[in-house]
A and B are shown apart, each in its own frame.
Chain A
Amino acid sequence: DAGVIQSPRHEVTEMGQEVTLRCKPISGHNSLFWYRQTMMRGLELLIYFNNNVPIDDSGMPEDRFSAKMPNASFSTLKIQPSEPRDSAVYFCASSFGRYNEQFFGPGTRLTVL
């Protein structure tokens, strides 16, 4: 079975531009997570969905960030407008059931100039 799929793998954009990151979870998984990894803050959760419903978005930095999960096989994380401090690796992960292991995608390395 394919793992979690993320696109794009790398994104370089200029400050002020809109950025959309995409994620396809493992088929059959009902929870989806977005994490961000930076040198300063380490790995931190931005938001997670259970059965396509947002459960915890307390980690979303500010209104510039939004996430959607229109169906069980697709989620997006959007940053508008982007800022240099948003530069990070963004990981999507999925899991089956509750409190089970999360399987991570390869990540999207975002650079905002």
Chain B
Amino acid sequence: AQKVTQAQTEISVVEKEDVTLDCVYETRDTTYYLFWYKQPPSGELVFLIRRNSFDEQNEISGRYSWNFQKSTSSFNFTITASQVVDSAVYFCALSGNGSEKLVFGKGTKLTVNP
């Protein structure tokens, strides 16, 4: 069965600090896809990134970066120089096993204080 674990339930930082959100996944598939979504206080789910299991290159998008390591089954997300607007719940998700269904982690609530 597929599983996503986000061990950090809540994180609180001060603005301009760097913060890393952890994501560990379990799957028996050789082909799978990993995602990160952001859910701000307004409640919508915003897509951030998609990665397939064959592409282990790290990715950077502005202040956001992602580190995918198959050896440790992890897909961690780092926000550099955090801002108050980054405050949200962040979800890591996994699909594969012949299904497009997203299996979500429980989410990490990030609070960035001014």
Contacts and interface: CB of A to CB of B under 8 A. Distances in A.
* Contact residues of B: prevailing secondary structure: strand
A48 B101 CA distance: 7
Contact of B100 (A35, A50, A107): A50
* Contact residues of A: prevailing secondary structure: strand
Interface string B21-41: 000000000000101010000
Q: Which of B46, B99, B101, B107 has the most CB of A within 10 A?
A: B101
B99 A42 contact: no
A99 B95 contact: yes
Interface residues of B, number: 23
Interface residues of A, number: 26
B114 interface: no
B88 to A, nearest CB: 14
Contact of A48 (B44, B52, B100, B105): B100
A102 B47 contact: yes
B101 A56 contact: yes
A102 B102 contact: yes
Interface of A: 31, 33, 35, 42-45, 48, 50, 55-56, 59, 89, 91, 93, 95, 98-107
